[in-house]
Structure 1
Amino acid sequence: MADLKTLLLNRDTEVAEVFESAKERLSFYRSEIHFESTLLASRTSSYLSSQSFLMIAFASSMANTNPEWGSLFRLVVPSLLAALGLITSLHAVPGIRASYDVIERWHRKQAELLQTEGSAALLSNHQSALFGEGDNPAGGERYKRTLLFSLRTPIIFGSVWALLGAFCIVLYVVGVD
């Protein structure tokens, strides 16, 4: 474990030597944060789009009123759609979590840089406005609150799909038409 820590420390030191100044490192960190945030937004948007289509298909299939096979149809198709929604939710979590972790790592590196190099030396007057009142650029973690939507969305949809799937089965067992 100590070897891994040494390897990571050496790698970070080598990366620090690539940049000519701390300001370049800060700019690089911010571009990486921006890239990962865009990637996270894209993943979240794609996930929400897929869930929207599944939800529409689920609602449409539950509205089937065919007297001959409607009851069985309302059991099979919506249950399969609910299972698909639950599976896609479970598969979305690792990718969204990975993006969150990378963003958190870059924010931590940025905070360390600002703490060691001094934020006043790195930031011009107009750049310091990026950190709102009450934010501490060297350790503020408000960004985590903004990322919670992306982290929680698959959990919420997964829970809803589990409830809707159970609801379909209960309706079939009770025999509600």
Structure 2
Amino acid sequence: MKAVCVYCGSSPGFRAEYAQGARDLGRALVERDMALVYGGGKVGLMGIVADSVLEHGGTAIGVIPDALMQKEVGHRGLTELHVVRNMHERKQMMADRADAFIAMPGGVGTFEELFETFTWLQLGYHDKPVGLLNVAGFYDRMVDFLSHAVDEGFLKRIHADLLHVGLTPDALLDQLAAAPRVTVDKWQQGREQA
């Protein structure tokens, strides 16, 4: 993996562990010679992870829609900052530039980005690993809910298992690096298991 796309909050959250997790992830990426690809913001966990990458001498690539840049939330100190027309272009460029995806704590935007990328993997639109950095147990209920979806027949276990979960940046990056690059065909698997 040469670049990891990180989805995370434009807020730092209430727990100090979230900011520390972002700093630790930034350091871990640089130690593994991996570039950060992210939403281009200077605020919240987004800004913290980018600043950490830069402080440790790494590469931070931001992609931000013009409307957010106009609100002055764009990080102007990045290695690269791409200003695009809209959220669709932003997400596509981030996906194209990354070899893996990590979701840190965040809000609705983070969840949407995570689930879109996870859906693309499940449908075979890409074969890049996707993971949750479960800082301070932030994603415990989401992981439980995905298991509930499996139990209720709305998600196959083979697909749920495509989402890697780590408690620390190093543990998660190890999982993502070891994950096989497989193309999933949800519909073919459904026919085979029927």
Alignment TM-score > 0.5, same fold:
no
RCO higher in structure (CA 8 A, sep ≥6): 1
Higher helix share: 1
Bigger Rg, structure 1 or 2: 1
Higher strand share: 2
TM-score (norm 2): 0.21
TM-score (norm 1): 0.23
